[in-house]
Structure 1
Amino acid sequence: MKITIVAGARPNFMKIAPIIKAINTEYSDKIQFRLVHTGQHYDRKMSGDFFEELGIPMPDSNLGAGGGTQAEQTASIMVGFEKELLANPTSVVLVVGDVTSTMACSITAKKLNIPVVHVEGGIRSGDMSMPEEINRIVTDSISDHFFTTSELANQNLQASGISADRIHFVGNTMIDTLLANLERLQDPNILHEGKELKPHKYIVLTLHRPANVDEEEKLKLMMDTIVNGCSPFPVVFPVHPRTAQILDQLGINYENLVTVEPLSYLKFNFLVKNALGVITDSGGITEETTILKVPCITLRDNTERPETVELGTNELVGTDPAKLPPFLEKMKSGNWKHGDTPPLWDGKAAQRIVKKLLEIYG
């Protein structure tokens, strides 16, 4: 059996690492895989470190499709991936998550009559202004089989007409990666006023969505509310260079704001694991904080991961800074909900996926 595994952006690598490990340790005699990196994230901090840290083999092919507009990037990935599949026939294409590479490679494979399986299928935010939501819907509309992280994802797929025999509830491979690396996390040794940050005495902030970082006035108000509301605790903000430039232009500078360059996977999750709390607009981080039992505030009006709110440690606060203060006070006081682990988020999702793939295509 031959599988082509696609990865293109930072979240993808966390999701494919345990699948590759499961193949190599348990099924290498039955499965041959080819790893294709689309190059969607081409900065070393955004992709290169992940191969080393997570034990992912170097890609068999790199399509080099980084940069450009949404349409340019999608087209570049599709052209490159078509050549890849024609030169290297496969039994099935495995895509993960909801980035541009996921959608583009799914379309390309299906037009060549190659089956597609979608890991993390069925997730929905209901927000069509998000590129990721379009990627999810398009990918799920043409995939052959779906590996899901929650019962709600199963229901979303069934509501769209997918038969139950094509939906496989397996758990969350991002959590497989987190649990496998808990003992390997690395202290990034971040300093605040010349001193090391003390465990549970700082708050981690991540912002990347255009709605939060591209509107300068809104970003300034949000930053004022967050940093002042978190005082006296330091706020550690691993910031993308583009966002850092906006912060500089706005003159945003606080005594308790610590900005650092984007961190590697092992260093960032060390920071999260030992934080008093996390404030983010990322979906994936809310999954990790749920497992780590770390309080989490999500600065979005919707989430494709409601299980992190209903069962986990996440609270969906929205994008209005005026709503933040009571949640910040609750986080600082230590009076946060404890949260439970969602079903099958046990570190064994990848094993279930590979076993099922052999049943279907082996």
Structure 2
Amino acid sequence: MSQSKICVPVTTRGNYGKFKSVMQAIVEHPGLELQLLVGGGALLHKYGDFVEDGELGGFEVESSLYFLLEGENPITMAKSTGIALTEFTTAFNSLKPDVVLTIADRFEELAIATAASFQNIPLAHLEGGEVSGSVDESIRHAITKMSHLHFPASEKAAERIQKLGEPADSVYPVGATSLDVINNLDMDDMESVESELRDKGVGGSVNLHQDYLLVIQHPVTTEYEKNREYIDETIQAIDDLEMPTVWLWPNMDAGSDAVSKGIRVYREHSNQEHIRWYTSLPIEKYGKVLYNSACIVGNSSSGIRESSYLGVPAVNIGNRQQGRHRGSNVVDVPHNCQEIKAAISQQLDHGRYPPDDVYGDGNSGDQVAEILSDYEFSIQKQLTF
């Protein structure tokens, strides 16, 4: 029996965490063959070069693709998308996959979807149908309309995909694949995490056996000019609280340079011994850091999705996750120092929440692989209304 070649492009450490269980299930499935591409921020030290650090879990990489331009502004983001389109077009032409698997809403994922669609390669899409702020909203739905098979993370997202005119028999709400890795972690085993934090971070030291905050704030692409102002409000709130904090660097979206500059200025001119800074953390260690934190603060989707599954209190700042379905563990605030501090204090007083399975139960990878092996793709797409 011939195997279907499933091409998985990994462009960030975060997306690797979401793809990992799916890739493992593909490797283990007798009817499927994995083609792994690595590119973008996944190859750059400033975003945590996990490929160089040997954190790809033994998966064989078919090709490495460089497409990111420096600057982290709207112009470089648009141009990087164009370069990514060229690079992935060439890679797909060489590998000739049977299916390309894309995910969510990043700008390079739009290039991946376009490269596959224009070459008549069936496209499967993880995490479509969700509502959020920023340009991510537009990108996600554009990818949905180019995709032939859909793996949304929730039932509500599945309903939206069908309302966009996609056939019901192409939509499989399997849950959030990132939960698969987290579901299998020993959350009480913090020894390896403590080693990671000690050896790779910078700044003060954080005792992971006491209450600490986890902060992740990415740029808001549709509010590009305000990103420095936004990060300064968050920095002031965390500085005022003086609570031990694990802080992860922003992603590579437009506005990242302003967020990074705000952090660098703070680090150079302030006493921040209560904060430990990291470019990123592997999903196996990040999951434990999130689970054991007293509260996650910022605007990452992790503060909506994984925190809900784990019952971790979350303070979501601003519009980046606007409209995304959330559990009862999330408190929403604007980019205002005083309101951020008040919300954090409120969440610390509340403590942990009951786990919520709105984004699945942590068993998605095997479902995705099985559906990929059986699904009969049709390149021709047509609205259902």
For Structure 1 versus Structure 2, the TM-score category normalised by the shorter chain is 0.7 to 0.9
Query: What's the counterpart of residue 52 of structure 1?
Result: 54
Query: What's the counterpart of residue 359 of structure 1?
Result: 374
How far did 1:146 drift?
A: 0.4
Match for 1:66: what amino acid? L
Q: Cα deviation per residue 1:321-344 (whole Å; 9 max; x = unaligned)? A: 3433432222232x1461332256
Query: What's the counterpart of residue 279 of structure 2?
Result: 262
How far did 1:139 drift?
A: 0.4
Does 178-187 or 7-16 show the bigger shift?
A: 178-187
Q: Cα deviation per residue 1:92-149 (whole Å; 9 max; x = unaligned)? A: 1111221122111111111111111101111121x3xx23222202101111110011
Distance (Å, rounded) in 2 between the aligned partners of 1:346 and 1:339: 14
Cα distance change on mapping 1:220 and 1:46 into 2, 3 Å: closer
Distance (Å, rounded) in 2 between the aligned partners of 1:196 and 1:122: 38
Distance (Å, rounded) in 1 between the aligned partners of 2:375 and 2:112: 21
Query: What's the counterpart of residue 134 of structure 1?
Result: 138
Distance (Å, rounded) in 2 between the aligned partners of 1:218 and 1:194: 23
Query: What's the counterpart of residue 184 of structure 2?
Result: 180
Aligned match for 2:348, one of 332, 337, 341: 332
| Secondary structure in structure 1 of the residue aligned to 2:43 | coil
Cα distance change on mapping 1:150 and 1:72 into 2, 3 Å: same
How far did 1:206 drift?
A: 1.7
Contact 1:11 1:97 (8 Å CA) reproduced: no
Distance (Å, rounded) in 2 between the aligned partners of 1:137 and 1:196: 40
Distance (Å, rounded) in 2 between the aligned partners of 1:329 and 1:196: 19
How far did 1:35 drift?
A: 1.0
Query: What's the counterpart of residue 365 of structure 2?
Result: 350
Distance (Å, rounded) in 2 between the aligned partners of 1:44 and 1:340: 35
Query: What's the counterpart of residue 33 of structure 1?
Result: 34
How far did 1:3 drift?
A: 1.5
How far did 1:200 drift?
A: 4.0
- Tell me, yes or no, if structure 1 residue 22 matches structure 2 residue 18: no
Cα distance change on mapping 1:179 and 1:314 into 2, 3 Å: same
1:1-362 to 2 correspondence within 5 Å? Answer: 1-25=4-28, 27=29, 29-44=30-45, 46=47, 48-49=49-50, 52-53=54-55, 55=57, 57-68=59-70, 69-125=76-132, 127=133, 130-182=134-186, 186-187=193-194, 188-189=196-197, 197-210=207-220, 211=223, 215-228=227-240, 230-231=241-242, 233-239=243-249, 242=257, 243-249=259-265, 253-254=270-271, 257-265=274-282, 266-301=284-319, 303=321, 306-310=324-328, 313-333=329-349, 335-336=350-351, 338-343=353-358, 345-361=360-376
Distance (Å, rounded) in 2 between the aligned partners of 1:319 and 1:91: 45
Contact 1:301 1:319 (8 Å CA) reproduced: no
- Give me the CA root mean square deviation: 3.0
Cα distance change on mapping 1:177 and 1:44 into 2, 3 Å: farther
Q: Cα deviation per residue 1:263-298 (whole Å; 9 max; x = unaligned)? A: 422443333222211112111343222222221111
Does 184-193 or 154-163 show the bigger shift?
A: 184-193
Contact 2:180 2:365 (8 Å CA) reproduced: yes
Query: What's the counterpart of residue 382 of structure 2?
Result: none
Distance (Å, rounded) in 1 between the aligned partners of 2:206 and 2:351: 25
Q: Please, which runs of 5 or more residues in structure 1 have no aligned partner?
A: none
Contact 1:299 1:319 (8 Å CA) reproduced: yes
Contact 2:296 2:313 (8 Å CA) reproduced: yes
| Secondary structure in structure 2 of the residue aligned to 1:107 | helix
Q: Cα deviation per residue 1:172-227 (whole Å; 9 max; x = unaligned)? A: 11101222344676224559998651524221222221459964444333322333
Distance (Å, rounded) in 1 between the aligned partners of 2:272 and 2:45: 30
How far did 1:305 drift?
A: 7.2
TM-score under structure 1 length normalisation: 0.85
Match for 1:321: what amino acid? C
Q: Please, which runs of 5 or more residues in structure 2 have no aligned partner?
A: 71-75, 251-255, 378-385
Contact 1:122 1:156 (8 Å CA) reproduced: yes
TM-score under structure 2 length normalisation: 0.81
* Percentage of matched positions with identical amino acids: 19
By relative contact order (CA 8 Å, sep 6+), the higher-ranking structure is 2
Distance (Å, rounded) in 2 between the aligned partners of 1:106 and 1:193: 39
Contact 1:207 1:213 (8 Å CA) reproduced: no
| Secondary structure in structure 1 of the residue aligned to 2:40 | coil
Cα distance change on mapping 1:248 and 1:81 into 2, 3 Å: closer
| Secondary structure in structure 2 of the residue aligned to 1:37 | strand
Distance (Å, rounded) in 2 between the aligned partners of 1:205 and 1:279: 5
Cα distance change on mapping 1:40 and 1:65 into 2, 3 Å: farther
Match for 2:32: what amino acid? I
Cα distance change on mapping 1:20 and 1:304 into 2, 3 Å: farther
Q: Cα deviation per residue 1:287-328 (whole Å; 9 max; x = unaligned)? A: 222222221111123626744334xx2222233334334322
